Amino acid sequence: MDSILVTGNGPLSGQIPIAGAKNACLTLMPATLLSDEPLTLTNAPRLSDIRTMTALLGSLGAEVSTLQDGKVLAMSSHDLTSHTADYDIVRKMRASILVLGPMLARDGQAVVSLPGGCAIGARPVDLHLRALEALGAQMELKDGYVHARAPGGLKGGRIDFPFVSVGATENALMAATLAKGTTVIGNAAREPEIVDLAACLVKMGAQIDGAGTGTITVQGVERLHGATHPVVTDRIELGTYMLAPAICGGEVELLGGRKALVGAFCDKLDEAGIEVTETERGLSVKRREDHVKAVNVTTEPFPGFPTDLQAQMMALLCTADGVSVLEETIFENRFMHAPELMRMGARIDVHGGHATVTGVAQLKGAPVMATDLRASVSLILAGLAAAGDTLVSRVYHLDRGYEHVVGKLRGVGARIERIHAT
């Protein structure tokens, strides 16, 4: 298994291009199942999760061609040859559940294995199933699979989510585009990835109002047609690399970044003493003073502070002046990076959904282990700030969500290399 060697660094400078959003692409790709005409995505990220979704769609009979070195995905789902999303693929990635709504809406049948994915909590799919039931689907759980049927087609209905779920909102939104009549989705997720999905579906002929607000209204249509759509910028990759100059000093410009994608995160950076400026080509980030101040952070659904940036923010706060409290409200088991950061000399006390971080003057390099996607990149960020070498193992987690992490960080002067397993 490959690992990544990071050596503590001085100030960084230069530019980092930000890719299209993994999480947007993973919901835009299944949207191809809604139409028998081609759907082309541009600005796609080159990631193992995208290859997993490509394999999943291929197993259902869709054709996915990767063009321009993987940045363009040309997809076509003329005929579905299977309606079963198999355990062997689904277990690798939780987002596989997103084929359920589209298959059901198009052909009235779908069988999907219960998903795996990052080990950051129980992560059930009950909200997905309840939302599709509200559109008339019949669900049965058998042998680890969800068997869904809608013999007469889906019918518009009212869905009220008890709490916000990004994936369940996406599944419901895609399914509702082809349901007969009107669907109203209450307590819908408002993430930029939902807005991007809705924009693509509208290009395909769907009638959708309110994406980006808590109530989305969908007027079902007979059929959707082909479209070409650019994937929105990855706000999590953006936020991650914004933290590199915050941790190491220097100034880095994130190409393609916009404050609107990371508003709550920018507010916290500002409080910590990090200056974020909008430029013609993106966002420029530098420290306002030499020291970073401690801040308290609570993760929330968009537009709040994203849970997917909590681990990386913790890496910054490990060397801040004072005591920070991070509260995780989305996933119950998302502090697995804390013990690894502590191996590097961080002072962290995890108690339930809270982590108290007492800043230390300097982290020290150590061998550490990546436990999930965002945790792994937090260890790389911490390594950049540590004295000496940090060896991050199990970096296959990283490959799921960050393209060319080594090249991008080296481009701004970081001392980082990938050690290939022999």
Nearer Cβ to ligand UD1, position 289 or 332? Answer: 332
Can you tell me the distance from the alpha carbon of 65 to that of 82, in angstroms, rounded to the nearest whole number?
A: 19
CB of 413 to ligand UD1, least distance (A): 29
Size of the site for ligand UD1 (CB under 6 A): 20
CA dihedral 250, 365, 374, 299 (to 10 degrees): -70
Give ∠ CA 267-268-269 in degrees, rounded to 5: 90
Helix (H) or strand (E) holding 90: helix 87-90
Between CA 124 and CA 333 the distance in angstroms is 14
Q: Scan residues 5-44 and list those touching ligand UD1 (CB under 6 A).
A: 23, 26
In this chain, which of 83, 92, 94, 286 binds ligand UD1, going by CB under 6 A?
94
Q: Which residue is nearest to ligand UD1 (CB)?
A: 167
- Minimum CB separation of residue 422 from ligand UD1 in Å reads 33
HSE, CB side, 13 Å, CA atoms: give it for residue 110: 33
Give least dist CB 97 to ligand UD1, A. Answer: 8
In the window 302-361, what residues touch ligand UD1 (CB under 6 A)?
Answer: 307-308, 330-331
Minimal distance in Å, beta carbon 330 to ligand UD1?
A: 5
Closest separation in Å from C-beta 200 to ligand UD1: 15
For the bound state, the minimum distance from the C-beta of residue 122 to ligand UD1, rounded and expressed in Å, comes to: 6
- Binding of ligand UD1 at residue 245 (CB under 6 A)? no
Amino acid identity of residue 399, one-letter, is D
Quickly tell me which residue has 């339930």 as its tokens: 352
Query: How is 291-323 classified by DSSP, letter by letter?
Result: SPBP--EEB-STTSB-GGGHHHHHHHHTTSBSE
Q: Name residues contacting ligand UD1, limited to 112-171 (CB under 6 A).
A: 121-128, 165-168
The Cα 178–Cα 105 span in angstroms is 6
Annotated active-site residue in 25, 118, 200, 318: 118
Contact between 121 and 374 (Cβ < 8 Å): no
Residue 209's CB is within 10 A of a number of other CB atoms, namely: 13
Are 245 and 253 in contact by the 8 Å Cβ rule? The answer is: no
Q: Say whether 118 is catalytic.
A: yes
Phi, psi of 70 (to 5 degrees): 95, -5
Q: How distant, in Å, are the alpha carbons of 127, 189, 362, 402, 422 from that of 316?
A: 34, 28, 11, 19, 33
> Applying CB under 6 A, which of residues 95, 194, 357, 398 lies at the interface with ligand UD1?
95
Question: Is 393:3 a contact under the CB 8 Å cutoff?
Answer: yes
Question: How far is it, in rounded angstroms, from Cα 341 to Cα 322?
Answer: 17
Residues paired with residue 211 on neighbouring β-strands, in sequence order: 213
Cis peptide before 245 (omega within 30 of 0): no
In whole angstroms, what is the distance from residue 312 CA to residue 382 CA?
Answer: 8
| Least spacing, CB of residue 321 vs ligand UD1, in Å | 29
Cite the active site residues.
Answer: 118
| Binding site residues, ligand UD1, CB under 6 A | 23, 26, 94-95, 121-128, 165-168, 307-308, 330-331
